[in-house]
Amino acid sequence: MDGARAASRLRVVLGHLGCPSAAAVIAHPTSGAVPSASFHPQFQYTRDNNVLSLEQRKFYEENGFLVIKNLVSDADIKRFRNEFERLCRQEVKPAGLMLMKDVTIAKSKYAPSEKVITKAQDFQEDEELFRYCTLPEILKYVECFTGPNIMAMHTMLINKPPDSGKKTSRHPLHQDLHYFPFRPSNSIVCAWTAMEHIDRNNGCLVVLPGTHKGTLKPHDYPKWEGGVNIMFHGIQDYDENNARVHLVMEKGDTVFFHPLLIHGSGQNRTQGFRKAISCHFASANCHYIDVKGTSQENIENEIVSLAEKLYGVKEGVSLKDVWRFRGRLVKGQRVNL
């Protein structure tokens, strides 16, 4: 799909012809976890199936995340790494893909390479990278949180660079639900796979266990002296005494976590680039909400403005339209999203 076809697809979405839609639902000023009647009474955040052990379910219910060791093969990770390098060299240019740079080099004139690009976002049109979102070993676990109808909603390959000394390689503490205009939150999960050994030295994920039980908090850009990367919104007010867990992971390890879980990552103090690949999945039975007048309105304005520049479409684009454009069915039936 080339750029013209991408713009055409977005116009179809804007015309509400691309997929069935649910009735409009108004969001509250902040949107917390929404229990679903389809869950076992003992469990609010996981589904009944034979994949997770009782111990694993209880851990996720209590903490909001679960690490599965050695889930993705070395062979697949090598293929994803090779495709990322091709994207960085601009040998392939999938429609809708955003190649992002660290704020410290955003205006530089370096030749495109792996050492310049810090994130490949929205790779749903790249057949090789999108394979990650369809791996049976990934979907087997995703279904434990979303049920059988699964949409891949947001894709990223993160290439955290060595920090320049301005601490811009870190990611502020945030909740992913801030970016999503669909609910219920309990039917959304992120799969995040380490593409190499990841620890505190090269900027591993840090999570605040149990915070998925709270509500969505207001987010905005943190006031960091060295600058902040585009769309790196952070929570403005959180309990600094909350326990933190740094997720040391090996290549192929995958963490699944709830969209209300507060998390972030530290700066990369090594000379290498720290890579991870991820996808946010949601039940196709989820519904869209209107975020105007809520704490999410600021990110809607930013994402919509960016989408208009990327696709040249200025026909009343909404955050919901952007996510309809990004979403892809990976299992079951496309119901609402």
Report whether pLDDT(171) > 60: yes
Cα separation, 60 vs 160, in Å, equals 27
Total tally of structural domains belonging to the chain: 1
Q: Residue 108: its pLDDT value, please?
A: 56
Residue 8 within any structural domain of the chain: no
pLDDT, one tens digit per residue, over 111-131 is 666 778 888 999 999 999 999
Q: Residue 206: its pLDDT value, please?
A: 95
Residue 204 within any structural domain of the chain: yes
Q: Which CATH number goes with the domain that contains 72?
A: 2.60.120.620
For residues 195-210, give the mean pLDDT. 96
Beta-bridge partners for 287: 183
Among all chains, which residue has been given the structure tokens 């995958």?
Answer: 254
Residue 264 within any structural domain of the chain: yes
Q: Residue 115 is encoded by which pair of tokens?
A: 């050492």
Residue 28 within any structural domain of the chain: no
Residue 280 within any structural domain of the chain: yes
pLDDT, one tens digit per residue, over 245-280 is 999 999 999 999 999 999 999 889 999 999 999 999
Q: Residue 39: its pLDDT value, please?
A: 45
Residue 26 within any structural domain of the chain: no
| pTM summary value | 0.84
Residue 39 within any structural domain of the chain: no
Cβ–Cβ < 8 Å for 139, 91: no
Residue 146 within any structural domain of the chain: yes
β-strand 117-121 against 150-160: which pairing, if any? Answer: antiparallel
Q: Which domain holds residue 232?
A: 61-331
Provide, rounded to the nearest whole percent, the portion of the chain with pLDDT above 70.
77
Q: Residue 150 is encoded by which pair of tokens?
A: 């699964």
